[in-house]
Structure 1
Amino acid sequence: MHKIFFNDKPIILTTKLEQEEGFKNYLLKTVDMGEVIRKLNKSKVKAVRLIGKNEDKLLRKFLKKLPNVVAGGGKVYNDRGEILFIYRNNKWDLPKGKIEGNETIESTAIREVTEETGVCGLEITKPLETTYHIFKRNGRYKIKITYWFEMKTSFKGNLYAQEEEGITKVEWLDKAQVEKALENSYANIKLLI
């Protein structure tokens, strides 16, 4: 089973047809993504299930439904065990961004964290879950596929918010602050934390 988010409502890819209040089922093979987006956007539907036959092919078939944007990002820890967060579009988020040219996804993640926050000396410690969400850009819906990495750094310098990307704050948050930030964050970020 996979979850793709649209406005923090899940689109669940599954092989099981279930009837449940607040959910809408569609066949993955024939689904009109415009209809799914309208249903999630303008109704009380809590989630949508896209039903397919083969568990191994669900995600691949879904990703063909809309243009894909590939991104890399980081869940960065400092020496005090705090996590690096950005504040963008009135929500707490983790730094991430689109792949450029022929760079690897790991290079993308490190570059984007540095560009969006000013933090240097990043070292990837392990890959994390890949997340998916649908967004609208220039009047078209797209699927953002974000490859996340846990990182560490001993960086002690000043943090820098990349304002041209809409980032207004960059902060190291301790455990209690992370819990508070997650109250005003995205479903994908909650999954990673």
Structure 2
Amino acid sequence: MAQKYRIYINQKVILLTETKPQNAEDYESIDAEVFDLKIVYTWVLSHKSKLFYVLCKDAKLFIKAVAKSVTLIEAAGGLVKSENDTYLFIYRNNKWDLPKGKIEKGEKVKEAAVREVEEECGIKVNKLEEKICKTYHVYILKGDIVLKKTHWFMMRSKGQYKLKPQKEEGITDVRWFNKEHITPIVKNTFPSIIDVLVKEKLIINTPVPL
């Protein structure tokens, strides 16, 4: 099965793919031979199109090469489900988001995911389940291009907790949502979060670039 990776730049997506995407006419093609994220970043932001693709022989090797070409920050977080079948979301920087944070030096990915969720929301994770996916997005930090790779896990929490947003991390709200009531989140979140929700089937029939 052909591998595909999505790199998000704000609300735009660069699809790294081994096969031409569906509805290729909706995409702008970027030549794999001359791909340089430091240059592509500015070009994509100034371009009117929101969808781009890079046709490559080995998407996994390609994303690794891209990661080596810029500053890579690895983070981990989770989608937490309560015993009442509600899901935990945070509100940060005027967007709904999922709790996540940078993996500390010497820390295992799974440990970081649980720690960040507990710190940012004031809850206890009772069970760490399967890995959902990895997401990638690009931004500027201190003048440098940064690629953030986030590892997402499914988690379970039991009991009633007084949710406590980690305000020093810019989080102003933490809430549990029923699956049927996440429309406000879908309308005001990041494309990478949509990816996580689609993977866990909280969203169905949502147009995610393939």
**Cα distance per residue 1:122-160 (max 9 Å; x no partner):** 310211111111122112121111111100011312111
SS state at 2:79 partner = strand
Partners of 1:35 and 1:102 lie apart in 2 by: 32
Q: Which amino acid aligns with 1:64?
A: K
TM alignment of 1:175-190, pairs within 5 A: 175-190=179-194
Is the Cα–Cα contact under 8 Å of residues 131 and 154 in structure 2 kept in the other structure?
Answer: yes
Q: Which of residues 5, 13, 16 is equivalent to 1:13? A: 16
Q: Structure 2 length normalisation: TM-score?
A: 0.85
Kindly indicate whether residue 196 of structure 2 is the aligned counterpart of residue 192 of structure 1: yes
TM alignment of 1:29-48, pairs within 5 A: 29-48=33-52
Cα displacement (A) at 1:13: 0.7
- 2:98 is matched with 94
Distance verdict in 2 for CA 1:78–1:41, change over 3 Å: same
Is the Cα–Cα contact under 8 Å of residues 26 and 49 in structure 1 kept in the other structure?
Answer: yes
TM alignment of 1:74-93, pairs within 5 A: 74-93=78-97
TM alignment of 1:13-162, pairs within 5 A: 13-16=16-19, 20-21=24-25, 23-162=27-166
SS state at 2:193 partner = helix
**Cα distance per residue 1:96-141 (max 9 Å; x no partner):** 0001121110000000001111011431021111111112211212
**Cα distance per residue 1:28-76 (max 9 Å; x no partner):** 3422323321222122111222232334422222222321101110100
Aligned length: 193
Q: Which of residues 2, 7, 25 is equivalent to 2:5? A: 2
Partners of 1:148 and 1:15 lie apart in 2 by: 24
Farther off after superposition, 86-95 or 3-12: 3-12
Cα displacement (A) at 1:93: 0.4
Farther off after superposition, 146-155 or 53-62: 53-62
Which consecutive unaligned segments of at least 5 residues does structure 2 have?
198-210
Q: Which amino acid aligns with 2:16?
A: L
Farther off after superposition, 143-152 or 31-40: 31-40
- 2:174 is matched with 170
Cα displacement (A) at 1:22: 5.1
Cα displacement (A) at 1:81: 0.6
Q: Which amino acid aligns with 2:167?
A: E
Is the Cα–Cα contact under 8 Å of residues 40 and 47 in structure 1 kept in the other structure?
Answer: no
SS state at 1:64 partner = helix
RMSD: 1.8
- The alignment-based identity, stated in percent, is 33
